Chains A and B, each alone.
Chain A
Amino acid sequence: MIRATDLSWRAGGKAILHGTSLTVAKGEVLGLIGPNGSGKSTLLRLLAGLLKPSSGHLELAGRPLDRMRQRDIARLLAFVAQQAETSDRISVRDAVELGRTPWLDALRPWSEEDDRHVAHALARVGMQGFETRDWITLSGGERQRVHIARALAQCPKVMLLDEPTNHLDIHHQLSIMQLVADLKLTTVIALHDLNQAMICDRLGVMHHGRLIALGPPAGILTPELLERVFAVRITELTDPSDGSRIMRFLPLNRKETTCAF
C-alpha cells in the first residue's frame, strides 16, 4: 500500500530524516516508536504528503505520491494529528463533516450519501448521539475519537496517526488503541508507550532520524536495542492474567543519573 524508498528530509540545513525505506502491506498495522525528536512525526508527515521529501521516492497504492493532487491523496489516506484544536464553536457533526471535504466541490454539493458516511464514521468510534455537542465541551479522549471519525469519513484506505493517545488518561489511551486496532485499515501509527506498541503487526524503531529496526514486535523489542535507543534498562514480566509480555523500564545506570526525583 505504501512504499517509501530512501526518504530524506532536511530543514534549515539540518537533516531530520536520513535515507529511510519501508513498505506497508495492505491491512497491516505498523507502529513507529522512538524517543522524542527521532523523526517519527516527520516520517508520518512525509508519508501523508504534508511534507515534501528532500530526496527519495514515495508510492501510495502504486502511484508516485509527488504526482498526486492533494485531494486524491486525501481520498486514499487520512491523517490524525497529535492534538488538533480549534477555538471555533463547532459541533461534533461539523467536525466529522469536514472529512467529506476531499469528495466535495462547488459542482458536487453535500448529498445524502455524505450524511450516511458521517453517521457511519461516528458509529464506528462510538460517538453516535454526540452530533450536536459543542467541540469545547468534549474531553480529550472524545475529541480524539471525533478526529478519528473525521478521518474515517474520508473513506480512506490508509490511516496515519501521530501519537493519538498523548495527553489522554489511561482509560482513553487503551480505548483509542483498541479502536485503531479494530479499524481493519492499513495503518501507520506513531506511539510513545512501548507496551501499547505490542498490538501492532510490525514495529519500526526510529533513532536520530533513521529507521534502525523493522519487524514483528516480539523480535524487535530486544533489551539491547531498547537500551541503545531509549537509554533505559528493560526487564520483561509476564502478566499472570493472560500470559502477555509486559516491559518494565529502569534507568540504565543509577549512578549516572543526574536528575534525581
Chain B
Amino acid sequence: MTLALIGTRPRRRGLRAFHGIWIVLILIAALLAGICIGETRIPVSTVLQVMANRFWDAGYVLDPIDEGIIWSYRLPRALVAGGCGTALAVCGVILQSLLRNALADPYLLGISAGASTGAVLIAVVGIGAAAVPMSAGALGGALLAFGLVALLARMAGGGTGLRGAGQIILAGIAGSQLFNAMTSFLIARSANAEQARGIMYWLLGNLSGIRWDDVWLALAAAILLLIVAFWHMRALDAFTFGAESAASLGIPVRQVQVVLIVVSAMATAVMVSITGSIGFVGLVVPHAARFLVGVRHALLVPASALIGMVFLIAADIMSRIMIPGQTLPIGVVTALVGAPVFAVILIRARTVSR
C-alpha cells in the first residue's frame, strides 16, 4: 500500500518545490533583461549595484544618469509589463474556463474596449474630474461592456455549445466596435490635436511614462487576481464539463461566476488605465501554458501567470529595440505575435470538434 502511494502524489509535491525555484529564477531573469536591454545597454552589474544602493544603502558610486534610467524608467516599466502580462493571462484562463470557450480573452470580448472608453471618458471629458480616478472609469466601462456582450450573446442564442461559443465571440466583436467607436467619438469631440495623438498612442498599448505609483497599482491588481484565481482553482476545474456539471459538483456557480468576472474586469480595467489595451496576451498565453502543463488549474494558473509576465516583458523589450531611436506601442508587438497564434487556435479548434 505505502509503496503504491509513494509513486503518486508525494512526487508531485517535490516537483512543486522544484518549480518554485524555477519561477523565482525566471522572474529575476526576465526583470533583469527588461532593465538591461534597450537603447542604452546597461551591464547587469550596474543594475545589481543600483538595487543594492536602493535596498541596502550599499553606497556604490554610479553614473546618476544610469541610475536614473534604471530606477525611474526601466525598472517600473519592467514591473508594470510583468504585472500586466500576468493579469491579462490569468484573465484569459478564467474567461476561457467560465465561458467554455477557447477564444475568450478580455480583448476579444470587448472588456478592454469598454475599459478604454471609461478611461477616456474620465481623462478627456473630465466627468467627475479628479474625484474619480481613471481606473474607476475603466472598471465601469469594462463591466458595462462585458454585461452588454453577455446579454447580446444570450439573446443571439448563446449557450455552452459550439454555436454558443461562436455567438459570444461575435457579440464581443460587436461590443469592441461599439466601444472603440465611442472612444473615437469622445476623442474627436473633446480632445485637441495633441491630446488626441497622445491618447491614440496610449490606446494601442503603451508603457512610456510609467511611474512608481502605476507600479503599485498594477502589482496590487495582478496579485489580487492571482489570489482569487488560486482560491477558485478547483471551481475553475469543475467547469470542464460545463456550468451544470460544476453545480452538480457543489460549486455555487452564480457566485463564482460573478466574483471571478468582476475581479477579472477589475484587473483588466486597471491594466488598461495604465497601459492602454494590449491585445492577445489573454488568448495566446493560456494556450501556450496548457500545451506545457495541461488543463488543470492548479498548474495552469501559475504557469500562465509566469508565461504572461515573461511574454509581456519580452514584448516590451522588442517594442524598444525593433526600430532604432523609436519605441513601438507594445500592443503592436503582441498583436504581431498573437494574431498568427489566434489563427492556429482557430484551425486546431476545427479539427478537434470534427
Chain A interfacial positions (CB closer than 8 Å to B): 45, 48-50, 69-75, 78-79, 81, 84-90, 94-95, 98-99, 101-102, 104-106, 110-112, 115, 136, 154
In addition to A45-B244, A87-B102, A101-B234, 9 A-B residue pairs with Cβ atoms within 8 Å of each other are A71-B251, A74-B250, A78-B248, A89-B294, A90-B295, A94-B295, A98-B240, A98-B249, A112-B9
Q: Which of A72, A88, A98, A136 has the most CB of B within 10 A?
A: A88
Q: How far is the CA of A50 from the CA of B249 in the complex (A)?
A: 10
B290 within 8 A of A: yes
**Which chain B residues border A70 with CB–CB below 8 Å?**
247, 250-253
**What residues of chain B lie closer than 8 Å to A69, measured between beta carbons?**
250, 252
Which B residues lie within 8 Å of A72 (CB)?
A: 250
List residues of B (227-263) whose CB comes within 8 Å of A's CBs: 230-231, 234-235, 237-238, 240-242, 244-245, 247-253
For the A-B complex, the count of residue pairs with Cβ-Cβ distances under 8 Å equals 85
Listed residue (B9, B245, B294, B353) with the most chain A CB atoms within 10 angstroms of its CB: B245
B192 interfacial by beta-carbon distance below 8 Å: no
With A and B bound together, what is the CA distance between A50 and B251 in angstroms? Answer: 11
**Bound state CA distance, A78 and B249, in angstroms?**
8
Given A69-B252, A74-B249, A74-B250, are A90 and B244 also a contact pair (CB < 8 Å)? no
Complex CA gap A84/B251 in Å reads 16
Cross-chain contact B245 with A84 (CB below 8 angstroms): yes
- Count chain B residues whose beta carbon lies closer than 8 angstroms to a beta carbon of A: 30
State whether A84 and B241 are in contact (beta carbons under 8 Å apart), knowing that A70-B247, A101-B234, A101-B250 are contacts in the complex.
Answer: yes
- Known contacts A86-B240, A89-B294, A98-B240: A112-B250 contact under CB 8 Å: no
Asked if B296 is at the interface (CB within 8 A of a chain A CB), the reply is: yes
Q: How far is the CB of B101 from chain A (nearest CB, A)?
A: 9
Chain B hits for A50, CB < 8 A? 244, 247-248
- Nearest Cβ distance between residue A82 and chain B, in whole angstroms? 11
**A102 engages B250 (CB within 8 Å):** yes
Q: In the bound complex, do residue A85 and residue B352 qualify as a contact, i.e. CB atoms below 8 Å apart? A: no
Which residues of chain B are within 8 angstroms of A89 by Cβ–Cβ distance? Answer: 290, 294-295
